[in-house]
Chains A and B, each alone.
Chain A
Amino acid sequence: MDGTIRVRFFARYAELVGCEETALAVTLPSTVADLVRRLRTELPGGQEIPERPLTALNLKHVRLDAVLHDGDELALLPPIAGG
């Protein structure tokens, strides 16, 4: 089964890959780690993103072993610096 994941980049990561979002077709089941691995190899500048970045799925922090579903929004978050 295939699905589409919306991927968003912020702050320094957006600068590194030169865009703020993209959409990727994935084969399901897949995990956040699977997608991060693809992003790091397929996107220009992707190698500069850490192997284990902070991630959020559908507006909630998740671990890299979180399972993706069709239509999910995955965000790669640089180290938090709010406040």
Chain B
Amino acid sequence: MSHLTRAAISLDPLLAEVMSPGCGGTCVFLGTVRTGADEPVAGIEYSGYEEMVEAEFGRIESEVRERWPDARSAVRHRLGLIPAGEASIAIVAAAPHRAEAFAACRYVIEAVKQRLPVWKKEHRGDGSTVWMDRSGHTVVQ
């Protein structure tokens, strides 16, 4: 199944991929588009190197299986223009115990922030656009 979508992310299919009777803890992380502190933000346009995103997610999932063999993880990243308040990424991780579920979920989002070839362009309320870095700061033009 693709890790990418252009529609709003639905959690139920993701949860169904990872939950099982043997998993006593399930951790969910949602990354959402937030309104700016200084500039009103209409939304963020996400684009990616889609073939590499799929390959990189496959590598990240393999790493999760190696580190936490009993954990199961699933992820969706949304591309396109996402309005403020909606999710750009959802990660779910389930494991027999909560510590592994939290750790696996945290591992995936940190790997995404470091390695996933996705970029975001902020659409501001005044109609202007700016490229953003991973910390949400404007890229120097």
Contacts and interface: CB of A to CB of B under 8 A. Distances in A.
Interface string B97-125: 00000000000010011111111110000
20 contacts: A10-B48, A10-B49, A11-B119, A11-B131, A59-B52, A59-B56, A79-B133, A80-B114, A80-B115, A80-B118, A80-B119, A81-B118, A81-B120, A81-B133, A82-B77, A82-B118, A82-B134, A83-B77, A83-B113, A83-B134
A49 B139 CA distance: 13
Nearest to B110: A83
Interface of B: 31, 46-49, 51-53, 55-56, 77, 88-89, 109, 112-121, 131-134, 139
Contact of A56 (B52, B120, B131): B52
Interface centre among A75, A79, A80, A82, by most chain B C-beta atoms within 10 angstroms, is A82
Given A12-B139, A75-B117, A83 B88 contact: yes
A82 B121 CA distance: 11
